[in-house]
Structure 1
Amino acid sequence: MVKTKPFDTSEYLDSEEMISEYLSVAAATGDPDDLLIALSNVAKARGMTQLAKDSGLGRESLYKALSPGSQPRYSTILKVLGALGVSLRVEPKDRAV
């Protein structure tokens, strides 16, 4: 019997470019839970305790805010993104002609 371990996305988020692209793709889906899951994975890769310190938010608050189905405040998301060293960017949607 072959033993496998569960896939852990956070193990592959090892560069600023990878993190930025991962979060961009998650945000582009339009599903808020996709972004929350991605932020949670990045937080795990960076260390939740350090992210809590850098963002000025409590660890438990972060866990709750980054859980699928939660509805974190916009200011919370901005604090998390800032602590992760990334920024939110708005671009026009591609328009099908």
Structure 2
Amino acid sequence: MSKTVTTRYDVAEHLRTPEEMAAYLDACFEEADGNSAFIAKALGDIARAKGMSQVARDAGLSRESLYKALSGDRSPDFDTILKVVNALGLKLHTEMRNGGGLPHIAPEV
């Protein structure tokens, strides 16, 4: 019987285009359920796909602090997230959840 050899899957190896990176981040936001460390890890995957050194320079961060911030072990501050998103050439946007909405407030008469 022959042994099956497996290798660890690394999503960063499969994120080749800006569209794939944006779609991956969108999917991670759907799955994160409010877990900011999960989003940080997803941004780290995208940063590795683009090249951590370049992303760190573009974000104005050291390579080491970028690795720590996007490791998924902790939740980086929002300022760091915005710097990284900008350095990746991505942007954040919002939309209403299905069935969600703001309460209607009648104007005062």
Structure 1 gaps, min length 5: none
Distance 1:40 1:52 in 2: 11
The 2-side partners of 1:69 and 1:41 are apart by 14
The structure where helix makes up a greater share of residues is 1
Residue 55 of structure 2 aligns with an amino acid whose one-letter code is: L
Q: Distance in 2 between matches of 1:64 and 1:70?
A: 8
Q: Any gaps of 5 or more consecutive residues in structure 2? A: 101-109
Number of residue pairs matched?
96
Q: Who is 1:42 aligned against? A: 46
* Greater C-alpha radius of gyration: 2
Matches within 5 A, 1:1-97: 1-29=3-31, 30=33, 31-95=35-99
Runs of 4+, deviation exceeding 4 Å? none
- Which moved further from structure 2: 32-41 or 72-81? 32-41
User: C-alpha distance in 2, partners of 1:73/1:36?
Assistant: 10
- TM-score norm. by structure 1 comes to 0.91
Aligned-residue CA RMSD (Å): 1.3
Q: Is the 8 A contact 2:37 2:76 kept in 1?
A: no
